[in-house]
A and B are shown apart, each in its own frame.
Chain A
Amino acid sequence: MRWLAALALAFALVIAMDAAWAHHAPPSYVKLEFGARHVDAELLVPHSELAYASSARDAQALGAYLQEHVSAETPDGRAWRVDIRSARETTVGEQRYYSAEVRLTPPRGAPVRELVFIDDAVTHEVRNHRVLIVAKGELLGELQYPAKRFTIDRAAN
């Protein structure tokens, strides 16, 4: 949750930016951290937008929802293992979010830094919603309906 903590601290320091969270259609964020054997993803899903897409109202239901809508596979189509490790409600600035820690593990023999990240949480319903994908502070790209697959190759990073 380091990223979330940094976000919260920054928001406490930058009062004017609170207004950003009064924006009525906030995006989701996915921060990816590449380890030796797996990829850890931190997901922030805005409460306001999720409400249009799911009836999930607690961490358990959110976990089940994310299990259905977040996955990964190798470029040749082999599924990665997806573990929802935690899910909770949080507030950043003025905006309520669900946050989740997800561990993505490639199939045996597949490189950990090459994957297709698949995510249509919220976007399957909210047409203007965007999922912004970040690694090492760099915005890799975004997903917006109907797109739900994002190819990542971090072999050189």
Chain B
Amino acid sequence: MKTSQPAFTSLALAALLACSVSGHAASSACPGPSGHGDATKVVASVEAFRTSLSPEQRRVFEKPLARTTAIEWSNLPIGVQPRTGLRIGDLDAAQAKAAHAVVEAAMSACGVKLFDEVRLADDALLPLDKRNIGWSSANYYLSVLGTPGTKAVWMLQIGGHHLAYNLTFNGALPGATPLFFGMEPLVFKVKDAQYEPLRPQTLAMMNLSKAVAGHEKATLSGTFTDVVKGVVTVPGTNGGPPRGGIDSGYPHNYPGGDTDRGVRYDALKPAEQALVRAAIESYASFPGESITRGLLASYLAPQALAATYVGVSGVADFSRRGSYVRIDGPRLWLEWIVQPAIALPDELHYHALWRDKQADYGGEALK
């Protein structure tokens, strides 16, 4: 396993954040529409990054677009699930800057901030990594699937432990999903700056959970120990060790009908309905607005909202493992789970997943 440090060291990354985004995750608002996620700008940034790479690096960076390559993302550290793609820790300073520009072109300010801060969280775990599990800001990867352009379909994948951005451009449908994010530790300090990267999403889902807890239909049956539609740990071939886990369960089956899906949006009070919309928007705040504009319009359309369910399990204040929230609409599938932490077992950590029942991988990974 590679463990060398990236061109942006943890402290340098923290210093950059302190200047650019205040270094405190309590801020929740992303800037308004600004062209982030616009395919033309993303393609230009990818091309600029590509020209900075050696031929060998380009071969690692570029993959064919197929189901087998698209589903390779994971939420596990690389010691558990090795990644393909170009490792940020292997880039020189100029290449790292160009790579960050790709993230900035594709994602919103919130999405960039999460990309930076989830890596800081990994670095906070580094001293606890006694098993070479691979927590490190260096162990995040970039890939393009297909040929970046403004007409043919292609994907940009950015991810590592606790982060998977899967963006599809020019696909049958606008594709921001699957989008996985998680966090451990939930709150941490780098030098004097305190970070709580998922505070906006935590509050959005917690407020929603508390608000709907009084509705009898909101409580889902069963127990939850992770997100339901996440990656699958699979057995190794020929009796070999199990492999970490990728999205091999795709395409997924989703619940139908009206049973055990939670309370319907149209049965909620207006203030509770507002919390549903806020929760949806908190997840959708990460990709560039050009990508999410159409998706949000679909999710928040009155007919779609009317057929959207909110289901909960566990305790509403997220103080215990197994606390779970799900928003399940005609297209939308959002999950939030509280798990015990890995590095610090007495603490908790979060996993969250956004799927689109129609537009995961832009609807292009079924072939």
* A residues at B contact (CB < 8 Å): 2-3, 6-7, 10-11, 14-20, 22-27, 29, 31, 48-49, 52-53, 93, 124-130, 132, 134, 137-139, 142, 144-147
Contact = CB atoms under 8 A, between A and B. Distances in A.
A122 to B, nearest CB: 10
A75 B228 CA distance: 29
B220 A24 contact: no
Nearest to A94: B131
A31 B110 CA distance: 44
Contacts of B133: 16, 19, 22
Contacts of B226: 24-25, 128
Contacts of A129: 225
A15 B234 contact: no
B75 to A, nearest CB: 10
B1 A125 contact: no
Given A24-B342, A127-B224, A137 B239 contact: yes
A64 to B, nearest CB: 21
Given A15-B131, A19-B77, A24 B234 contact: no
Contact of B239 (A6, A18, A22): A6
Given A7-B241, A16-B133, A132-B232, A125 B223 contact: yes
Contacts of B240: 6, 10
B54 interface: no
B237 A24 contact: no
Contacts of A18: 131
Question: Chain B's interface: helix, strand, loop or mixed, by majority?
Answer: loop
B227 interface: yes
10 contacts: A2-B239, A6-B240, A19-B77, A19-B79, A24-B339, A29-B242, A126-B222, A128-B225, A134-B235, A142-B232
Interface string B1-42: 100000000000000000000000000000000000000000
B132 interface: yes
A26 B79 CA distance: 16
Contact of B233 (A20, A124, A145): A20
B249 interface: yes
Interface string B238-270: 111111110011000101000000000000000
Given A52-B225, A126-B222, A129-B225, A16 B234 contact: no
Interface residues of B, number: 41
A31 B234 CA distance: 12
Given A19-B80, A20-B233, A26-B233, A126 B225 contact: yes
A15 B132 contact: yes
A6 B280 CA distance: 45
B222 to A, nearest CB: 4
Given A7-B242, A14-B241, A128-B230, 13 more contacts: A6-B239, A17-B79, A19-B133, A20-B80, A22-B80, A24-B225, A25-B226, A48-B225, A126-B225, A128-B227, A132-B232, A132-B234, A132-B235
A29 B235 contact: yes
B1 A52 contact: no
Interface of B: 1, 76-77, 79-80, 131-134, 220-228, 230, 232-245, 248-249, 253, 255, 337, 339-340, 342
A134 B237 CA distance: 9
B76 A24 contact: no
Contact of A27 (B76, B224, B232): B232
Contacts of B235: 29, 31, 132, 134, 139
A20 B238 CA distance: 18
Contact of B225 (A17, A25, A31, A134): A25
Contact of B236 (A10, A19, A128): A10
Of A2, A19, A126, which is in contact with the most chain B CB atoms at under 10 Å from its CB? A19
Contacts of B244: 20, 23
A16 B233 contact: no
B185 to A, nearest CB: 16
A19 B131 contact: yes
A22 to B, nearest CB: 6
B236 A145 contact: no
Contact of B223 (A3, A14, A27, A126): A126
A10 B239 contact: yes
